[in-house]
Amino acid sequence: MTEGDFRPRWRVLVGMLGLVAGLAMYAMIVIQIGHRITDWPVFWQTLFYVAAGLAWLPPARILLGWMSR
């Protein structure tokens, strides 16, 4: 097996571990913020959760792009 064959597997492993760890930490942060906004109007809570639900996508896309190189 050449080094070129090994690199994509290494990137996929590191990327998957990073993605899982990053999403877990991100979820914990969103949960902590979510506990503090319970007295906000429902409209603002909804906007927060929609934004928080979409905010992880650009970093994940960058990481997935790096993994596929």
| Contacts for 32 with CB less than 8 Å, ≥ 6 apart | none
Provide the whole-model pTM: 0.79
pLDDT in tens, the chain (69 residues): 565 665 678 899 999 999 999 999 999 999 999 999 999 999 999 999 999 999 999 999 999 999 988
Question: Can you give the residue range of the structural domain that contains 58?
Answer: 3-68
> Total domain count for the chain?
1
Hey, CA dihedral for 23, 25, 26, 28, is it positive or negative?
A: positive
